[in-house]
Amino acid sequence: MAEDESRTLEVTPTWAVATVTFSLIAVSILIEHVLHLLAKYFNKKRRKPLIKALDRIKSEMMRLGFLSLLLIVCEESVANICIPKSAGKNFLPCKDNESDAEEAAKCADQGKISLISRNGVQQLQFLISILAISHVISSILTFSLGMLKMRNWEAWEEITRTLEYKYSNDPRRFRFVHQTSFGKRHLRFWSGLRLFRLPASFLRQFYGSVSKVDYFILRHGFIMAHFDEETTFDFQKYLRRALEKDFGVVVGVSPWIWVFSMLFIFLSTDEFKYSYWLPLMPLVVLLVVGTKVQGIVTKLCLDRNDKSLVIKGTLVIKPNNNFFWFKTPKLLLHLIHFTLVQNSFQLAFFVWTWHKFGLKSCFHRETSGIVIHIGSGVVVQLLCGYVTLPLYALVTQMGTSMRKAHVFPQEVIRGLQRWQKKAKANIAQRDKTSFKSSTAIGGSLSLGFYGEFDEITVVDEDDEDVSMEIQPDSFHFSHHSQ
């Protein structure tokens, strides 16, 4: 058996080498083709944030592949780095296991051991491969769960266009804040007490994280802050684009995330009993973020109740960055990013130890440690994708700044810019050019311009009506000869 494992390519049939190599090349070409088709589909659907997310995933895969290549090239060099035997006995993940690794001859002659043996470098290469696969699967699951959650909001968006909804939100109707559905949900006896509000916000993550009334009130507050009250703006579609933009952030691995990943490896020693508390860190961070986001919704209701006990029509909340930590909504997204990457890294580490050393190895001697690893990993993946990230995409709109880029896709923005330049050129060339719309294309574009659609008509020098229909997803040009 040992002789067969050490057999080199010199005594291996060429047909076997060619078969394995061809299979690997075929698989890599297939993956590349699938990614190309996916990018082509996103480009056709004008989903630029998803194209960027796909590029970031491919960039991370290339970085991990390059790292694996470096390990292969430097395998012998790393094994020839010698350290004292006393240094090799500190920070061991398995203290009572005897090492049977073959040390480099250079280090053995000096009475020392290798920094990492050649076998250890090969195992590290396998860990990197598992990490790449885990990161891709985690990213796909996160986005799929988020889209699944937002599909439930499509029906709520349709309700806002019904006569029943408009009747129930009659602007001539006076009510107390605590009598509204939003007030009944959030204005409880404990709402004003931080000691009771935090546990309630914590528990709301697990049942009814986003209710219908929360969606309606946050939607109305957003529209009143940035648009005309009578607009038919599709808030759910806007949130979907916002989620796609946020997904493009969380799929990447920034340098500071790599620092924490290396810290995770450093702390995976027997001295720190890492298997009991280290896997729970992503879960704790995610629960803190979810509690904060839920608490912001309650604070919005409390803030409105403090300003006026009586409202006319629909309750209007005011977006404010003060509700977020350090007045920075993006901070919550960075914490979600940290949680997802660390969780995928820990799951990859668990799969690697299971495959290489067995389920009941020195890395996981007790069943409780195995349950903590698997349980926390699954809970973080499901909770983040289905609850926390969509909820963040909704609540972060309660900041004072608006993501204007999500209202129109980049193609529409560029189209409007080209249209603006053409209109200016026509004005400079012929004074006869006139604008028939209330919004001047030659001037600045206002946010009130955003709606289900607006139509802008320009008369050019050929006496043709050139109309442009503007929609959140696309724009169209049509010519009507007079």
DSSP 329-387: THHHHHHHHHHHHHHHHHHHHHHHHHHHH-TTSTTS-SHHHHHHHHHHHHHHHHHIIII
Confidence at 400, pLDDT banded by 50, 70, 90: low
Question: Interhelix angle for 212-226 vs 118-159, to 10°?
Answer: 80
Give 292's strand partners.
none
184-198, 276-290, 291-305, 421-435: least confident range: 421-435
The residue that leads in pLDDT, 7 or 28, is 28
pLDDT tens by residue, 321-333: 888 888 888 899 9
Q: What is the structure's pLDDT at 368?
A: 80
Give the pair of three-digit tokens for residue 152. Answer: 């439930």
Q: What is the structure's pLDDT at 446?
A: 39
The fraction of the chain above a pLDDT of 90, given in percent, is 6
The H or E element containing residue 175 is strand 174-176
Q: What is the structure's pLDDT at 410?
A: 52
Q: Give residue 287's Cα distance to chain centre.
A: 16
pLDDT of 116 over the 70 cut = yes
* Contacts by residues 192-199 (CB-CB < 8 Å, ≥ 24 positions apart): 192/302, 197/295, 197/298, 198/291, 198/295
Give 457's strand partners.
467
For 153-182, what is the mean pLDDT?
Answer: 79
On whether the pTM is more than 0.85, the answer is no
Identity of the residue numbered 218: L
pLDDT tens by residue, 183-193: 878 887 777 78
152-166, 181-195, 382-396: least confident range: 181-195
Confidence at 380, pLDDT banded by 50, 70, 90: very high
For 110-123, what is the mean pLDDT?
Answer: 82
Nearest Cα neighbor of 451 from 201, 232, 265 is 232
The residue that leads in pLDDT, 138 or 464, is 138
